[in-house]
C-alpha cells in the first residue's frame, strides 16, 4: 500500500470524546473504549472526555448533545448499541442530532468488516455524520470493530495529511450557511 500522506500539510491534533454505550461495562472492563483512547492518542489526538452510559437513547443523546454543543470537542466516537436487539439504540439516539449523514462510513465499515466476520457484518448499524460542526462516528462495541473503524477509516480521515482529501480539512467549513 502506498503512503497516502502529503507531508507538506501539517497534522492537526483534534479533541475527541469517547462514549461507550453498555449496560454492563465499567471503566475497568471497557476494553473497546480503552482501545479507542490508546489509538487516538498514539495518532496525536487528545481525549476531550470519556464516558460510559447505558443502552438508553435519552442518556446517549444527552451525552452526545453535550459534546456537540461544546466548541472544544471536534469529534465524538461512540462504541456500542449499534446492533439490532431491543436495547441497541445508538443510531436512534444520534441520528436526530445530525445535520448531515456521512453514508460512506457505514458502507465502508461493513465492507471492511465483511472481510473479517463475513455476513455477520449485516447486523451492524455503524454510522457517521456531522452535528453542529462536530464529526460523530458510531461503531459497534466489540474491540475488533473499534480497531477496524479506527485503523482502517477514522484515523486516516482525521489526519490533515491524508490525500486526496480528508475530513479534517473540511472542519473550518462545516458550519457554513
CA distance readout (Å), 103 to 41, 60, 98, 100, 122: 26, 21, 12, 9, 15
| pTM score | 0.95
Per-residue pLDDT of the chain (177 residues; tens, 9 = 90+): 446 766 678 999 999 999 999 999 999 999 999 999 999 999 999 999 999 999 999 999 999 999 999 999 999 999 999 999 999 999 999 999 999 999 999 999 999 988 988 888 888 999 999 999 999 999 999 999 999 999 999 999 999 999 999 999 999 999 998
The confidence score (pLDDT) of residue 7 equals 65
Enumerate the H helices of the chain as residue ranges.
31-42, 57-69, 90-94, 103-117, 143-149, 155-157
Which overall architecture, per CATH, does domain 15-171 show? 3-Layer(aba) Sandwich (3.40)
Helix (H, G, I), strand (E, B) or coil at 135: strand
- 10 Å CB burial of residue 83 (0-12, 13-18, 19+) is middle
The confidence score (pLDDT) of residue 119 equals 86
Question: Residue ranges of the domains in the chain?
Answer: 15-171
The confidence score (pLDDT) of residue 150 equals 98
Is omega for the bond preceding 164 within 30 degrees of 0, making it cis?
A: yes
Rounded Cα distance between 78 and 140, Å, is: 8
Amino acid at each position: 500500500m502506498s503512503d497516502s500522506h502529503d507531508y507538506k500539510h501539517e497534522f492537526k491534533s483534534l479533541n475527541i470524546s469517547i462514549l461507550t454505550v453498555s449496560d454492563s461495562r465499567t471503566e475497568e472492563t471497557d476494553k473497546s473504549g480503552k482501545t479507542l483512547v490508546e489509538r487516538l492518542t498514539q495518532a496525536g489526538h487528545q481525549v476531550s472526555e470519556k464516558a460510559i452510559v447505558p443502552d438508553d437513547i435519552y442518556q446517549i443523546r444527552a451525552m452526545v448533545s453535550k459534546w456537540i454543543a461544546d466548541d472544544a470537542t471536534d469529534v465524538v466516537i461512540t462504541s456500542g448499541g449499534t446492533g439490532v436487539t431491543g436495547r441497541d439504540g445508538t443510531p436512534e439516539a444520534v441520528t436526530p442530532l445530525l445535520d448531515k449523514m456521512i453514508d460512506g462510513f457505514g458502507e465502508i465499515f461493513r465492507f471492511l468488516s465483511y472481510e473479517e466476520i463475513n455476513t455477520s457484518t449485516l447486523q451492524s448499524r455503524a454510522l457517521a455524520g456531522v452535528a453542529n460542526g462536530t464529526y460523530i462516528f458510531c461503531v459497534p462495541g466489540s474491540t475488533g470493530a473499534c480497531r477496524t473503524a479506527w485503523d482502517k477509516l477514522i484515523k486516516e480521515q482525521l489526519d490533515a495529511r491524508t490525500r486526496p482529501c480528508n475530513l479534517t480539512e473540511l472542519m473550518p467549513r462545516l458550519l457554513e450557511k
